[in-house]
């Protein structure tokens, strides 16, 4: 440990990294040197990709520039992480080397497009670039079969593909072309939101009302753009005119090279403390395998637990809070109505979810969710 202020290096300024750096700044800003590293220039909420894709917001409107993230005790560096040595807590970037007393790896999940043959030539809507491309393509689509297909689980924000088909339905209705279009959703889960049967039932009813076909327990194994065919993992083929994919997820390659990744593609951690097998090295957010969903609200919850552990160590007193594994997700049900599901992964013997019916008033709650983070992290 350095004789001067303890050094905390946080890799990735996403939901987890931003919240962790904010908490450390608030609690022990004058007693710590936090280095937050991200190769991007701005943060974008996951759900904003749906807004961009469906033309409800421009890519520029949803960017939250990192130069607005200014916190005592924290410096945010725009650098690309090239190598991590978890044994010595040393990180090499394209701009230099950083040594840390505590290292937190929060680089999010990467998209493994190559894992699904043909997907590289098709459309995906899980990145800002993919959503931005679709924003140009969707307004010109006026007849045929749309296939929204997920290529592997776990994937970010389990309800997002369901939201996508409901928002797509609305868009096609608005443009008067819905009768000439078919919509199919392929999901590698038994139901749209497995921890909450009530939420799943409501989504299935919404699909049924709108004539959306739902194929559970299957994933996209290959896409043939020339023939416009998707092959599912059971060998069956589905023809499409417009394919909207969700790539398989995995921890970034730099995390695998560091020896932090397990065979399932994610980082094994103690699910309640986010500790990796290396001393003073934590992993939190989408790349960590805690058994909880890959969602911003869960990444934030995990970051809070890591922050409380670091604050206790830095102060030399107090106890760390465990990661609660609880969070509320807002779900776009179409027609501007928002539903909500509160899921709890650790309190009982199995995960549970409490469903709140969709309504227009809940849109204000979702907006408040985003606005409160914007204000807290970026002062916007
Ligand atoms: C369509 C869609 C809808 C969603 N809707 C919701 C929702 O409604 N509610 C919700 O809670 N969640 C939602 N999510 C999920 C949410 O966006 C993620 O779960 C969340 O962002 C994960 O946080 P994280 O900190 O783990 O990773 P991220 O937020 O992905 O942050 C990781 C950061 O690491 C950086 N990085 C990666 N590699 C490097 C490198 N080598 N060098 C430097 N920096 C690097 C990246 O630039 C990034 O900023 C949605 C996601 C999608 C795709």
277 and 232 assigned to the same domain: no
201 and 273 assigned to the same domain: no
Residue that is last in its domain, among 210, 229, 249: 249
What is the pLDDT, as a whole number, of residue 53? 98
| Atom number in ligand 1 closest to CA 125 | 1
CA-nearest residue for atom 11, ligand 1, is: 296
What is the pLDDT, as a whole number, of residue 2? 45
In this structure, is residue 342 part of a structural domain? no
In this structure, is residue 38 part of a structural domain? yes
> Domain of 136?
113-249
Contact 272, 323 (CB under 8 A): yes
18 and 98 assigned to the same domain: yes
In this structure, is residue 358 part of a structural domain? no
Q: Does residue 1 surpass a pLDDT of 80?
A: no
CA-nearest residue for atom 15, ligand 1, is: 295
Pocket test for ligand 1, best of 9, 10, 13, 15 (most atoms within 8 A of CB): 15
Establish whether residue 15 lines the binding site of ligand 1, counting it when its CB lies within 6 angstroms of any ligand atom.
Answer: yes
256 and 245 assigned to the same domain: no
132 and 147 assigned to the same domain: yes
Number of domains within the chain: 2
96 and 220 assigned to the same domain: no
Q: What's the CA-to-centroid distance between 289 and ligand 1, angstroms? A: 15
Confidence bin at 31 (pLDDT 50/70/90):
very high
Q: What is the pLDDT of residues 110-139, one digit of tens each?
A: 999 999 999 999 999 999 999 999 999 999
Q: Provide mean pLDDT across the span 142-163.
A: 98
Q: What's 304's domain CATH number?
A: 3.50.50.60
Sheet with strand 337-344: strands edge to edge: 326-334, 337-344, 352-359
What is the pLDDT, as a whole number, of residue 221? 98
* Phi, psi of 216, rounded to the nearest 5 degrees: -85, 170
Establish whether residue 64 lines the binding site of ligand 1, counting it when its CB lies within 6 angstroms of any ligand atom.
Answer: no
Establish whether residue 81 lines the binding site of ligand 1, counting it when its CB lies within 6 angstroms of any ligand atom.
Answer: yes
Chain mean pLDDT for the chain:
97
Establish whether residue 105 lines the binding site of ligand 1, counting it when its CB lies within 6 angstroms of any ligand atom.
Answer: no
Q: What is the DSSP string of 31-75?
A: G-EEEEEESSSEE--TTHHHHHHTTSS-TTTT-EEGGG---TTEE
97 and 212 assigned to the same domain: no
In this structure, is residue 357 part of a structural domain? no
* Residue from 77, 84, 73 nearest 4 by CA: 73
**SS3 for 346?**
coil
Confidence bin at 80 (pLDDT 50/70/90):
very high
What is the pLDDT, as a whole number, of residue 3? 55
What percent of the chain has a predicted confidence (pLDDT) above 70?
Answer: 99
Burial 281-296 (b: 16+ CB within 10 A, else e): bbbbbbbbbbebbbbb
104 and 146 assigned to the same domain: no
Establish whether residue 295 lines the binding site of ligand 1, counting it when its CB lies within 6 angstroms of any ligand atom.
Answer: yes
Q: What's the CA-to-centroid distance between 287 and ligand 1, angstroms? A: 10
Place of tokens 């106890």: 319
Confidence bin at 88 (pLDDT 50/70/90):
very high
Q: What is the pLDDT of residues 298-338, one digit of tens each?
A: 999 999 999 999 999 999 999 999 999 999 999 999 999 99
CA-nearest residue for atom 47, ligand 1, is: 40
């Amino acid at each position: 440990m350095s004789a001067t202020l303890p050094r905390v290096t946080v890799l990735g300024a996403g939901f987890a990294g931003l919240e962790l750096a904010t908490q450390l700044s608030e609690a022990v800003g004058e007693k710590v040197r936090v280095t937050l590293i991200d190769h991007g220039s701005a943060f974008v909420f996951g759900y904003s990709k749906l807004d961009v894709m469906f033309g409800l917001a421009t890519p520029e409107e949803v960017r939250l520039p990192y130069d607005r993230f200014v916190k005592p005790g924290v410096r945010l560096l725009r650098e690309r992480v090239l190598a991590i040595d978890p044994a010595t807590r040393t990180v090499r970037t394209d701009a230099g080397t950083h040594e840390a007393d505590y290292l937190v790896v929060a680089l999010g999940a990467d998209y493994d497009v190559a894992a699904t043959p043909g997907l590289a030539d098709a459309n995906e809507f899980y990145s800002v670039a993919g959503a931005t491309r679709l924003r140009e393509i969707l307004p010109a689509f006026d007849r045929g079969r749309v296939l929204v297909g997920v290529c592997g689980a776990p994937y970010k924000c389990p309800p997002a593909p369901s939201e996508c088909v409901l928002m797509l339905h609305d868009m096609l209705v608005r443009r008067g072309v819905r009768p000439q279009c078919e919509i199919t959703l392929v999901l590698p889960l038994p139901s749209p939101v497995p921890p909450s049967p009530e939420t799943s039932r409501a989504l299935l009813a919404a699909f049924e009302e709108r004539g959306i076909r739902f194929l559970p327990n299957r994933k996209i194994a290959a896409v043939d753009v020339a023939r416009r065919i998707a092959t599912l993992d059971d060998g069956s083929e589905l023809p499409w005119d417009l394919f909207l994919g969700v790539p398989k997820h995995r921890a970034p390659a730099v995390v695998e090279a560091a020896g932090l990744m397990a065979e399932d593609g994610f980082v094994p951690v103690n699910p309640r403390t986010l500790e990796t097998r290396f001393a003073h090295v934590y992993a939190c957010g989408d790349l960590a395998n805690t058994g909880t969903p890959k969602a911003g609200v869960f990444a934030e919850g995990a970051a809070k637990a890591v922050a409380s552990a670091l604050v206790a160590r830095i102060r030399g007193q107090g106890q760390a809070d465990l990661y609660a594994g609880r969070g509320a997700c807002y779900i776009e049900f179409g027609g501007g109505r928002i539903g909500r599901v509160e899921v709890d992964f650790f309190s009982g013997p199995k995960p549970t979810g409490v469903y709140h019916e969709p309504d227009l008033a809940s849109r204000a709650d979702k907006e408040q969710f985003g606005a409160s983070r914007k204000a807290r992290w970026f002062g916007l």
